[in-house]
Amino acid sequence: MDERTAPGERRSGIALASVVRFVDIAVDALAGAREEVDALNVYPVPDGDTGTNMYLTVVAARDAIRAALGEHADSPDLVSEVDAPLSAMARGALLGARGNSGVILSEMLGAAARRIGTARADERNAVVMAEALQQASAASYAAVGEPVEGTMLTVMRAAAAAGTTAADAPAARSSDVLTAAAAAAREALGRTPEQLDVLAQAGVVDAGGRGLSVILDAAETVLTGRRPIPVTAPLGSHVIPVPHVGPGADELSADGPAYEVMYLLDTDDTVAPGLRERLGTLGDSVVVVGRDGLWNVHVHTDDVGAAIEAGLSVGRPHRIRVTHFAEQIAQKAAAETPVPPTLAGRRVVAVAAGPGLAALFEEAGAEVVRGGPGRRPSTGELLEAIAACGAREVVVLPNDEPTIRAALAAASTAEADHGAAGLRVAVIPTHTQVQGLAAVAVHEPGRAFDQDVTEMTATARHVRHGAVTIAARQAMTMAGPCEPGDALGVIAGDFAVVGDDLGSVALVVLDRLLAAGGELVTIVSGADSAGLADRATAWVEEFHPHVDVVVYDGGQERYPLLMSVE
C-alpha cells in the first residue's frame, strides 16, 4: 500500500499482492480438490464436471491478472494502480467461465474484485472485505434466473453474513472476516443436503458449494497462513461426507433439459434482465452475467436454436458451446472404464515468441503456440495444443517464466481429462526461448519418456542465457538506475547491465556468459536487431575462436538479441 497517496485519493487498502497470492493458492487448492468436487456433482445435472469448471474459471482469472501485471506479476507490491489488474482478473474469469458453476463463480469473483478496486484510504480493510463478500453474494443471486437454496448461492450468502458480523468489531481485520466467512461456508455446506432433496438422496453435499468452500479456505490461508480444514473433519454440528454418489445419481431426469448452451454475448447492458427472463421460458439453470457490453450466457434447454436466437435478437453471440448431457455422461462413464489407449507417440509443445522461433520449433517437430511478452498464451490455448498433438506423451516448453504456471495448469487438466487414455504430460520449466531451443535439440522420442524429460530438463538448466532490450521507463535495476531509452543487458533473467548502446551492452553480456567457459554460443536476432547479431558473432570469433557460434533469425519483439552459452 502506498502511504504517499494524497488524503481522499482512491486506492485499495487490500494489497494487490494478497489478491495475486489468493488466485495462485485457489488454483492449487482447486487442482487438488477437482476430482472430489466432480464426484459430488449431482445437481443440477449429474455431469461430473463442477470441480473442473470452477478450477478452469479460477485459472483464467489467475492468468488474466498476471498478464495484466506483466513483469510485476511476481512483485505486485510495486504496482500502485490496482484498477486495471483487478478489472483484468474479473474479465478473465468471465471469458474463461465454464458450466453453470463457473459462470456463477465468475460473477462472484468479478463483484468482489470491483469492491476491492473501489476501496478508499479511509475505509477499514475488514469492512471492504465484508462488503466484497456481500456484493459477490448479491451479484450471484441476481445473475441466476431461479435461485435454488442448498447450492453455492446459499454457501456464499452464509459466508457473506458471517463476514459482515465479524467486520462489525471495531478492531476487526480482513483476516478475521475471511476466517469467519470460511467457517460459515463449511457449516452451510454441511447443511445443503437438508435443503435440496437430490443431494440427500445421493448422500452428498453440493458440489458448487464445496468448490466455493475450497476457494474461501484459500482466501483465509493467504491472510492467516492456516492450512484449510480437511473435507472429512467435523464442521460445527455437521460432517462433510466423503464423496459417494448413490445408485441412480448419474442418471438424467427423463423430463429434464437435454443440452447445456453457453455463449459470450456482445450487447447493451440493459438487456440482461429481459434475456434472463426469455431463457427462463426455454429451460432452467439460467445464468446471465457480465457488464460493459460483454456477457456470459448459460442455460440448460431442449431447444438449442431458440436459446441461441434469444442472444441473436439482442446482440452478437460468439464462442458458442453446446453440450449434450447424455453424451457427456456416457463419455464420463467410458473414461472410468479401462479402455485401450487411443493416443500414441510423443510430441513437444513449445511456446514461440516470434515467427522465426516458431519455424525453428516446428522444424524440430514441435506443436507451436504463439506467445512472448505482451501476448502470453492462456491455459486454454496450451490445453488445446496438448490435445491437438494426439500424442500419449507430451513435453511442454513454456519458454517464458510467467507462462510456466499456465503450462502446469494445462498439463494437470489434460492428464485429468485424458488419464484413461494413458496421457502423460511433463512441463520443463524453460524460462527463455534459448533454453527451449536447447531442450528441443536433445529431444529423443525413441528413449523412455522419463529419461527424455530428464535429459531435456538438464540441458535447459545448464544453458547460461542473456538478452538485450530497451528500457521503457525509469527504474532501479541490479546494475543501477536506468532511464527510458537506455540499453539494458539481461543475464539469467535479471537486468545486469545498463548502457547507451545495444551493441556494446550485448558484448558485455556475452563476455559475462562466456566467463565460465563454453563450447557453443547461440544468438537469436529479433525484429529490430539492426546488425547486432553480426557484431556479436564477430566479437566471439575474435576473442573466443575455439567457441562455435550459431545465429538464428527469431523475429521476436522487445528483445533485439537473445543469447545463450552451452
Do 392 and 317 belong to one domain?
A: no
User: Which residues are CB-contacts of 566 (< 8 A; sequence separation ≥ 6)?
Assistant: 438, 459, 462, 463, 464, 518, 519, 520, 522
Residue 422 sits in the same domain as residue 519: no
pLDDT band at 427 (very low <50, low <70, confident <90, very high): very high
Asked if residue 251 is part of any domain, the answer here is no
- Encode pLDDT of 480-494 as tens digits: 898 989 989 999 888
Q: Domain for residue 11, yes or no?
A: no
Does 220 share its domain with 193? yes
- Let me know if residue 520 belongs to a domain: yes
Q: What is the mean pLDDT of the chain?
A: 83
Instruction: Report residue 325's pLDDT band, with 50, 70 and 90 as the boundaries.
Output: low
Quick one: cell of 246? Answer: 448413490
- Cα separation, 65 vs 104, in Å, equals 19
Please name which of 49, 57, 59 lies closest in space to residue 27, comparing C-alpha atoms.
59
Q: Is residue 331 scored above 70 in pLDDT?
A: no
Domain extent at residue 58: 16-245
pLDDT, residue 17, reads 86
Band of the pLDDT at 401, cuts 50, 70, 90? confident
Q: pLDDT digit string (tens) for 336-360?
A: 444 444 677 899 999 998 899 999 9
For the segment 216-234, the average pLDDT, to the nearest whole number, is 72
Coil vs helix vs strand at 146? coil
Distance of CA 229 to the CA centre of its chain: 24
Burial class (CB in 10 A: 0-12, 13-18, 19+), 17: middle
- Examine the domain organization and report whether 504 and 356 are in the same domain: no
Sequence-distant (≥ 6) Cβ neighbours of residue 165 within 8 angstroms: 180
Final residue of a structural domain among 462, 497, 513:
462
Residues 199 and 74 in one domain: yes
In the predicted model, what is the mean pLDDT of residues 309-316? 87
Contacts of 268 (CB under 8 A, 6+ apart): 293, 314, 315
Percent of the chain predicted with pLDDT > 90? 31
* Cell matching residue 135: 456484493
Task: Find the mean pLDDT for residues 350-372.
Answer: 90
Q: How many domains does the chain have?
A: 4
User: 555 — alpha (psi -120 to 50), left (phi > 0) or beta?
Assistant: left
**Tens digit of each residue's pLDDT (9 = 90 or more) over 501-528:** 998 999 999 999 998 888 999 999 988 7
State whether 508 and 561 are in the same domain: yes
Residue 81 has pLDDT above 70, yes or no: yes
Average pLDDT over residues 234-262: 51
Residue 336: phi, psi to the nearest 5?
A: -85, -5
